[in-house]
Amino acid sequence: MTAQPRFLRVLNVVTVLMLAAATLMVFLYAPIEAVMGQVQKVFYFHVASGWTGMLG
């Protein structure tokens, strides 16, 4: 198996950091929505995961 190019290693690290930051923000930063309550936070996580997946 060949070694990954440097930019792929950087993208791997950035992807993990973005997923960790998104998860922390969902649980610690995002307010509870008035109508849907905690369920709304699922959307916050999935949108961030989608963007991270597309960019990673």
Q: Where are the domains of the chain?
A: 6-55
Residue 1 has pLDDT above 70, yes or no: no
Query: For a pLDDT cut of 90, what percent of the chain falls above it?
Result: 7
Q: How many angstroms separate the CA atoms of 49 and 51, rounded? A: 5
Q: Would you state the pLDDT for residue 13? A: 92
Q: What is the pTM of this model?
A: 0.62
**What's residue 30's pLDDT?**
81
- For 4, the enclosing helix (H) or strand (E) is none
